Each structure stands twice: as structure tokens, then as C-alpha cells.
Structure 1
Amino acid sequence: MPETTDRHVSVVATGAFLPGDPLDNDALARLVGPLPDELLAATGVRRRHWLVDPVSGEHRTGTARMATAAARQALDRAGMAAGEPDLIVVSTASPDDPLPVTGTYVQEALGLERCAVIEIRAGCVGAVQALDTARRLLADGTHRTALVIGAESISPLLTPLYLGRDPRTVRLRDRLTVHTFGDGAAAVVLRAGDEGSAAGRPRPVFATRCLGGARAPGMRIARDGTEMPPAGRRSPERPVGIRLDLPGTAAFGPRVFVTGLRDVLEHAGLSVADIDVCVVPEGDAAYFSDAFEAAGLSAAEHALLRTSLVENLADVGATGSPAVLLALDAGWVSGRVRPGDTVVLLAVEASRYLYAGLTLTWDAPAPVPGR
């Protein structure tokens, strides 16, 4: 059989969906209690969006519906019909149901009778892993057009920590957890060119690892698991099992980021100076970025990296699976990400200290205004 030649895979468009009105820190403090100024500043978050009404606890949407909304916007910006994708890859740690997987609900909503659907259960790293999975399946000719989606519903885990309680009685650790996270979804449309169209173009490089095999998890969500029934995983004092190892994350997270950055750049034959855009989920979190140099990034490299960082943590909070894609969408819509740019997507996940990085050359022109 003749040897096949990879096709070039382009990012055609992105889309995003954020539920409800922005919830700023002052409004949240009235519900759950305030954070000390220095701790609030260190989180880097000024506002977030929740699918749950923060006052009543009413659910206003869900993971699959947010994913579908982001997908529709991305397809509209791409000038594509809803029936055009033949592959959907979704990352989420908060599906509507364990089964069917979230991507099949998106498929149904888009009216796709037949479509390949893959789901990755992960947090921040999942969308980057999903992008590379889709890219490979398009590059080898298995599929032609893909929707890659990250979607997360975290607020349903947060409101039980304070609803019905006097804010003064909510412990500081729970206040910090509530102030940190947001909900949302983001999508990317990928399209493959003709056979051989990747010739002469920089080769995308992907790198992912878990560095926490010998460490306790940095974050754990004990919810609806099978090891023991939910009643055995919760208590009246801790009705929702979201647990953050804040000291561990602050100490080890920057090392994971720097290790991931080194890994993807070395495999791509690039240096920090070669990066036009580095899309990250938490580039504005002081507790995180201030420790990069201690983790092994030189002062000169750190200064260069700051000029290329694209992130929107301050406006959306920590959103898990859609974090990198939400930042990518914001960067593309604002003109920060432009055709020809060398882009590095780098996600770090605290759950077990994972990273996932992907390099690509940006193809998509600026989005059409109004779309």
C-alpha cells in the first residue's frame, strides 16, 4: 500500500458560552463571606459566571446545553452548517449524566444522526488532550471536520457550602473555594486540508504527563463514586466533596507548569522566545505565576513568557475543562491571536498534577464582527 501523507489541520473558529450575568467578588462576599484582601488578590479572580442562581440555588442550564451553545457559536463563526462536523470530542469532569456521554447530547442538539463522539473525563488538561485527539484523527484522514469542546458545571458543588447559612459561619477554606471557580463552555472547529497539505508546515507537537503518581491529589471531587456510596463520602459539615490542597497546589503547581512548558518546547524545537502566544488557564494568579522562577524558569524566560501569555482567569474564574479554550476564544476575538502566530496551549490540572501542551500555527483570520 502506498504511504499516506498527513493533512494539515486548521483551527477555523472558536466559540464560547458563559451562563448568567457576571458574579463579582463583592456580590459573592455578601453570600458566602469575604476573603482577606491579600488572599482575594492572589486568586486573580474578579468575576465568574455560574449556571446556578447564587441566591436561590436554582439550576438555569447544564453542561450539555452550555457545550451546545459554544459549539453553535464556533460553527457560526466558521460559516459552517450544524450538520457538517463528523467528529465531536468533549472534555468534562461534570457531565449531566455518567451515560450517555455529553457529546451525544451535543450531537442530538445539532441534528447529527451519525457522528463520531469521543469524551475525555478530565479538568483543565482535558480540552488540550481533546484537541490533539481530534487533530490526529483529521490529519490521518479518518475524519474531515471536528468540534472540540470543553465544558464544566462547578457551581452546583459550591452553593451547598453556603446556602441557608449565615455567611459569618462559612469557614475561610470554603469561602476561598467558592470564590475560585466558574462555569462555562468553549469550542473549537478544526478542519483537515487535502492529503499532503501539511508538507512544509511546522509539525504540531503534543506533550502530556501526570507528575503526581507519588503525591496526594491537589484537588479531589468526591461525588457519586462507586468506591463507597455518596453518604459515606460526605458529612453534614461537608455536604459537597470538593477538596483542595491549597498549600500543595501553590508549592507544586508551578513546577508542573514549568516542566510541561519545557517538555512541549523541547519536543517542538522551540524556545520561549519563539512563542507568539502562550494560552494558559491561570496566568494571572499571583500564587501561581510568582513561583515560576523558583520552579526553574529563568528570569529572562519569565519576562519573555509574560509578553506572550493569553488568559482570562480574572473574568471567568477557574473553569476546568473549558479554561484554555475560553482564553483562546477571548484572545482570538480580541485580536491577540493572529494568523501566522506560533501558539502554545498549556494546561495544568491540580487533581493529580497533570499537564498537557500543544503547539500549532494559527490559521484562522479575525472573526467576522457580530458572529
Structure 2
Amino acid sequence: MDAPDTYIRSAGTALPGPAVDNAALARRFGMPKAWEQWVETFVGTRRRHFAVDLTTGDVRFSVADIGESAARRALAAARTETAQIDLVVMGTSSPDLLMPATVNTIADRLGIDGVATYQLQSGCAGAVQALDVAVQMLRSGRHRTALVLGADSCAKHLDVTMDAAGLPPAEQINGALFGDGAGALVLSTEPSPQAVAVRHVHNRLVGLGREPGQIIDWYGRADRGRDRPPVAEDYKAIEESVPELAAEVVRDVLDLLDWKGSEVDYVLPPQLSGRMTDRIVSHLALPGAHEVSCIRDTGNTGNALPFFQLEQLLPRMVTGDRALAVAIESSKWIQAGFALEKV
């Protein structure tokens, strides 16, 4: 018996709090006007959202809060009741707690119980990994309708009392690059007029022998007070490696599906920053594909980003359209992506 096709029925997203533009960020942390201009010119991200109050440092939204909001929007868009969900998979690099898993907190809030749930801890590839798990399990025939989540909050690492101007540039850039957000998809083995078929999901570890491009530390009680940053990033390594890694994903997926680059109508590129996205797209050799990006207005929201892109994409697709998405995780170098077709 052939495995059933899997369809994305809807996408939903959530952003915490008001948008913080570069001018507001510079004022809050005492950065010079030149820094604000540098972010606009060389990073290309205009605004982002944070789950903390930048004045007090109080956490205003948890990952579960924004994940629940995104899930409810996706369920409403798909006209799907929570009782129909028989699988929940989540990708995140910043769960609220080590235990209980944030995916289970969200499921509980939604009234979902008695189903399989999985949480994958991963960086920017985590959303695609979660999609991969859900697609494979739906194709097994044991499940019919899945809720897939991706959410991250960098704000938990943001010290609002810090002397930002005194930080090294490698740490300053994180405040400009990253934002908080969540996304959700409803997947089903049942086609519907608005659904888009998932043709392939690509996940591959390519980090053998390579130094991590990003490290996010975890602090326990015994670690507190250690003189090391919670987040460290080798932005130069990322800048050099990601465009070619993304191009490899495109070539591999096209070859596997026997698609031509000219047959791809939409491309959802990795979303590191506005300027990096431009560089990446130029490497993908998909000149006829319409770019779907959100990074300039959301910041890098990690595992939420593909959902913001999909929320833009799904209403645009008409019968016969094809789309290709790419995500690259730099922590230990993971290539990820997926291909969609409107049928």
C-alpha cells in the first residue's frame, strides 16, 4: 500500500509585544547613531519583537504563550478542532524549561491529550526537523492530523542592565539580529482546496570535524557567575558557509524530485538577516522564483521563521505552483529544507 500524501492545511504565527525598531534599540542600550545606521546598512533588519520588557527585564511572554497563540491561529485557519489532532511535534532551541517539555505545556493549554507528542531541541533547522517527523509519521498511516510548532525566545538571554556599548561586536550583533516568535502548521493526510502537498523534506548533518558556528550555553545553579557569554556566534564562519550550504540543499532537492530550477515558483531562503538573505538568494540559481522573506520585519526568530514565510506563501499558491524552502543551522551545521506543490 502506498504511503498517503501529506498536506499543509494552514499556518499561524505569533509575535510578542510591540515591534522594536533599530532606533529604539539603540536608544535603550545607549548605542551611538552610527550603530543604528550600521544595523540598517550591513544587517538589513529593521525591527524585531521581544518577549521581555526592555525597561524592566520582566518576561512578558513565555515560549508556551506565543506557541499557543500561533497554534490557535493555525487551527482556526484550517477549521480544525483540537479533538482532530492526533500528533504534536515542536522544534525549539529555547524551551521554557528542561522539563516539562514546552510542547506538552502547549498541548495541555489547547486541551489536547491522549496523543503522541515530540519536542526536538535544535536551532534554525528544528522547524524543518519537526516537519520531517510529522510527515514521516503521517505517512506511516498511524496518524491523520498533526500540529507542528516552531518557537524561540532569545530574550531570555538579554540582560537589559548590560553596557551594550562595551560589548565586543560579536555580542552586539545578536541584539540586532534576533527576535522572538512562534509558528504553527496543521498537517493532514486529507486533501482540501486550500492545502499544499509536501513533496519532500530534507535534513542532513554536515558538521563532521567543523567548529560550531553558534553556541548557546545552559546555566545551572553551579554555573552561575561564570565569566562566559550565554550566546557565542562566529558570524564570519556563518557568512562564508551558509550561502553555499543553502545552494547544495537546492541542488539536492531538485535532483531528488527531478524538478528543474525554472519550475520553482517560490523560494523561502534561510533568514539570518536582511543582507545575508540577499547574498544567499544570489547563490541559489533560482532566478525565476519569487522570494518569500520576513526577516527585515521580524528579526531572526529561529525556529519560528519558516512559519512566517509559509503564512505569506500559502495564500499565494495556485494549482501547479512549486515552492522550495531552505534552512541552515550553524550550531553544528545542519542542512534542511522542504519542497511543496499546490495540487
Q: Does 1:361 align with 2:341?
A: yes
Q: Is the 8 A contact 2:269 2:280 kept in 1?
A: no
Measure how far apart 1:60 and its partner are: 0.6
Q: Identify the residue that residue 223 of structure 1 maps to in structure 2.
A: 218
Question: In structure 2, which of residues 177, 181, 184 is the aligned counterpart of residue 184 of structure 1?
Answer: 181
Residues 289-308 of structure 1: pairs in structure 2 closer than 5 A: 289-290=278-279, 301-304=285-288, 307-308=289-290
Q: Does 1:59 align with 2:39?
A: no
Query: Structure 1's 100 and 167: CA in aligned 2 closer, same or farther, altered over 3 A?
Result: closer
Q: Distance in 2 between matches of 1:40 and 1:207?
A: 33
Do structure 1's residue 265 and structure 2's residue 254 form an aligned pair? yes
2:202 matched residue in structure 1: 207
Question: Shift of the alpha carbon at 1:166?
Answer: 4.6
Report the 3-state secondary structure (helix = DSSP H, G, I; strand = E; otherwise coil) of the residue aligned with 2:172: helix
SS at match of 2:137: helix
AA aligned to 2:50 is W
Tell me the equivalent position of 2:99. Answer: 99
| Partner residue in 1 for 2:296 | 314
The DSSP-based 3-state class of the residue aligned with 1:113 is: coil
The answer as to whether partners of 2:39 and 2:176 remain within 8 angstroms in 1 is no
User: Which of residues 2, 5, 9 in structure 2 aligns to 1:5?
Assistant: 2
> Offset of 1:203 from its aligned partner?
7.5
> What amino acid maps onto 2:143 in structure 1?
H
Equivalent pair of 1:84/1:145 in contact (CA under 8 Å): yes
Q: Give yes or no for contact 1:278–1:310 (8 Å, CA) kept in 2.
A: yes
Question: Which residue does the alignment assign to 2:243?
Answer: 254
User: Alignment partner for residue 11 of structure 2, among 11, 14, 17?
Assistant: 14
Moved more, 267-276 or 68-77: 267-276
Does the CA contact (< 8 Å) of 2:177 and 2:273 recur in 1? no
Q: Is 1:68 aligned with 2:52? A: no
- What 5-or-longer segments of structure 2 have no aligned partner? none
Equivalent residue runs for 1:114-125 within 5 Å: 114-125=114-125
Q: CA deviation at 1:357?
A: 1.3
Identity over the aligned pairs, expressed in percent?
31
Amino acid across the alignment from 1:329:
E
Q: Is the 8 A contact 2:212 2:330 kept in 1?
A: yes
Q: 1:352 to 1:38 in 2, by over 3 A?
A: same
Q: Distance in 1 between matches of 2:156 and 2:70?
A: 20
Once residues 198 and 67 of structure 2 are traced to their aligned partners in structure 1, the CA distance between those partners, rounded to angstroms, is 29
**Displacement after TM superposition at 1:38 (Å):** 4.2
The letter for the 1-side match of 2:59 is H
* Runs of 4+ in structure 1 over 6 Å off: none
Note the C-alpha offset of 1:79: 0.9
Gaps of 5+ in 1: 364-371
Contact 2:8 2:197 in 1 (8 A): no
Match of 1:351 among 291, 311, 331: 331
What letter corresponds to residue 211 of structure 1 in structure 2?
V
Give RMSD over aligned pairs: 2.4
Distance of 2:187 and 2:120 partners within structure 1? 17
The answer to whether the 8 A contact 1:283-1:310 is kept is no
Is 1:10–1:362's contact at 8 Å kept on the other side of the alignment? no
> How far, CA to CA, are the matches of 1:291 and 1:146 in structure 2?
31
Q: Which stretch shifts more, 38-47 or 68-77? A: 38-47
Letter in 2 for 1:191: S
Q: CA deviation at 1:39?
A: 4.8
Aligned length: 337
Alpha carbons of structure 1 residues 169 and 71: separation in structure 2 relative to 1, 3 Å:
same
Counterpart Cα distance in 1 of 2:136 and 2:203: 15
Q: Indicate the SS of the match to 2:187.
A: strand
> For residues 208 and 104 of structure 1, do their structure 2 counterparts lie closer, same or farther at Cα, with a shift above 3 Å needed?
same
- For residues 153-202 of structure 1, what are the alpha-carbon distances to aligned partners after superposition, in whole Å with 9 as ceiling and x for unaligned? 11111x21xx22455434433221111000010000011139xx9xxx98
| TM-score for the superposition, normalised by structure 2 | 0.90
| Pair 167,133 (structure 1): closer, same or farther in 2 beyond 3 Å | closer
